């Protein structure tokens, strides 16, 4: 994938969440507040989340071509271990539950949301 194709996939994922724009992600990357794993078939964007009793590498965006983008998982795991993480987490769309199992992930819950309107 070209860099522009990767950015378009990232933007598509961001549109679904509605929480960030590409410029926000770029700023977080520049500040070192999140990490990017860039490969031939796509990217993983992650952040380390520290809780009182656990540290996790949260995969915020995985964007690219399957199965190639998943070949980057070993590098992500290595990074997580090197930074003291006990696990890797991800919030994903329903279709990912089947893909993720093939790569050793297990479903541990369901994330839901409710939009609030002010005024």
Assess if CATH 3.40.50.1700 describes domain 3-101: no
With 0-12 CB in 10 A as exposed, 13-18 as middle and 19+ as buried, what is 106?
Answer: exposed
Q: How many residues does the chain have?
A: 119
Q: What is the pLDDT of residue 10?
A: 94
Q: What is the pLDDT of residue 93?
A: 81
Q: Domain residues of the chain, as ranges?
A: 3-101
Q: Are 42 and 6 in contact (CB under 8 A)?
A: yes
pTM, full prediction: 0.86
Q: How far is Cα 58 from Cα 104, in angstroms, rounded to an integer?
A: 16
Q: What is the pLDDT of residue 118?
A: 85
pLDDT < 50 regions, the chain: none
Q: Return the DSSP state at 90.
A: E
DSSP annotation string for 48-85: EEEETTEEEEEEEEEEE-TTGGGGGHHHHHHHHHHTT-
Q: Which tens digits make up the pLDDT trace of 79-100?
A: 999 999 999 999 888 888 888 8
């Amino acid at each position: 994938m070209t860099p522009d194709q990767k950015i378009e996939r990232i933007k598509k994922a961001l549109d679904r969440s509605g929480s960030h724009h590409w410029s926000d992600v770029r700023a977080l990357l520049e500040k070192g507040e999140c990490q990017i794993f860039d490969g031939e078939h796509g990217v993983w964007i992650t952040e380390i989340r520290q809780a009182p009793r656990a540290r996790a590498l949260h995969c915020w965006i995985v964007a690219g071509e399957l199965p190639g983008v998943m070949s980057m998982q070993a590098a992500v795991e290595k990074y997580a271990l090197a930074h003291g993480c006990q696990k890797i987490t991800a919030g994903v769309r329903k279709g990912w539950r089947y893909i993720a199992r093939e790569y050793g992930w297990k479903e541990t819950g369901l994330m839901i949301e409710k939009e609030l309107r002010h005024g």
